[in-house]
Amino acid sequence: MSDQNTPDEMHQRAAGLLHLRGQGLAKGDPMALPITTSSMFHLPGDPDGAPGYGRVDNPTWEALEHALALLEDAECVAFPSGMAAISAALFATLKTGDRLLIPSDGYYVTRALGAEFLAGLGVEITERPTTEMAEADLHSFDVVLLESPSNPGLDLCDIARISKSVRAGGGVTIVDNTTMTPFGQRPLDLGADIVVASDTKAPGGHSDLLMGHVATRDEKLLARMRDWRKMSGAIVSPHAAWALHRGLETLELRFTRMCDSAGWLAPRLAAHPAVMSLRYPGLPKDPSYDLARQQMSHMGFLIGLTLADKETAERFIEGCPLLRPATSFGGVHSSAERRKRWGDEVADGFVRLSVGCEPKQVLAAEILASLDRIQR
């Protein structure tokens, strides 16, 4: 287990989060976070740093960023989606002529953003599989974006080692920590410069919002990403910020249960004759296992399982009453999808399973029963 996130520190953060707002209240203040939707603020005379305009200032975002900062142990800027956060990190760090390294097997929209927009602005983009990131000529890149565990393949790369080499060459390392959340992996403690995350997934947790954030301990990078939000206008809805703030209060509870269930489920699924192969970083036989133990404090709630073919995989998903056939992951309800349908480079029968908060025995019984049915 990573010493960057001891259970003690994680528990302190989880407890601290639940009292973060309360400890700052004055008599008569509402306990729960209010939603402020004002575009204008009362602003006579010189601005003097007071809130002025809704594209720049909003008390509901600020409360959310305060909560995120406690979880990340770093300043955070909230964005309206994970992609808005990733865009902010890339546009704030890259310029024409720069070299960018991204994973060839990570979230596909990040690659599309590079190809469709950054390449046209003169950024030279190199793609490598997550497991081969460490062998790249890391000194020669201005920005390196990592995704570990990668979505959907669940491959890992050595965040500490890579960040160190990138920094030695004067570059910046960005880690997409969406699959792990700050409760499962702490890339900034491992040496990365920027964390980006889609809070649409486990942090929101109820499949009712889209959000994202960036986190960094570097003041210059923080200012750049804040300016990007202000100038690009990629700002957060106060309602979504409020909903995410509420979701964060149960993140540790949900995340630990989801990871615990996934860890319990993975060997049972791996042993089923309908499963051709299975990826879960917490299984001792998994190629990611040693690195996972080194840099993650939980093994995650995603399981990758390969079934015989497309039809078998679809029948498995649709035949299980406790699996929502849906894209995205990290909700309280378990969900699954065949990733090939979006063109990911995986087998036709590869299913990304997101383990939710259902009691694990009930969930396991239904999933195994659905696997039994596709066997026949």
Q: Are strands 99-103 and 124-128 parallel, antiparallel or unpaired?
A: parallel
Q: How far is the CB of 196 from ligand PLP (least distance, A)?
A: 7
Cα–Cα distance, 278 to 355 (Å, whole number): 14
* Residues 188, 215 contacting (CB under 8 angstroms): yes
**198 touches ligand PLP by CB under 6 A:** yes
Residues 301-330 that bind ligand PLP (CB under 6 A): none
* Binding characters for ligand PLP, 171-190, by CB under 6 A (x = yes): -----x-xx-----------
Q: Which two tokens stand for residue 54?
A: 């809704």
CA distances from 269 to 78, 151, 252, 305, 354 (A): 37, 20, 25, 8, 13
Shortest distance, CB of residue 277 to ligand PLP, whole angstroms? 22
Which of 210, 214, 302, 320 binds ligand PLP (CB under 6 A)? It is 210
Q: How far is the CB of 66 from ligand PLP (least distance, A)?
A: 21
- The reply on whether position 354 binds ligand PLP by CB under 6 A is no
> Least separation, in Å, of the C-beta of 188 and ligand PLP?
17
Least CB distance from residue 38 to ligand PLP, whole Å?
Answer: 26
Q: First and final CA of the chain: distance in angstroms?
A: 41
Pick between residue 111 and residue 164 the one whose CB is nearest to ligand PLP. Answer: 111
Residue nearer to ligand PLP on the CB measure, 82 or 171 = 82
Output 200 or 334, the one with its CB closest to ligand PLP. 200
Please say whether the beta carbons of 336 and 323 come within 8 A: yes
Q: For residues 28 and 322, give the distance between their C-alpha atoms in angstroms, rounded to a whole number.
A: 44
Three-state SS for 292-314 is HHHHCCCCCCEEEEECCCHHHHH
Strand 212-216 to 75-79 pairing: antiparallel
82 counts as binding ligand PLP under rule CB under 6 A? yes
Which of 58, 60, 81, 163 forms a contact with ligand PLP (CB under 6 A)?
81
Determine if 107 is a binding residue for ligand PLP (CB under 6 A): yes
Q: Which residues bind ligand PLP (CB under 6 A)?
A: 81-83, 107, 147, 151, 176, 178-179, 198, 200-201, 210, 212
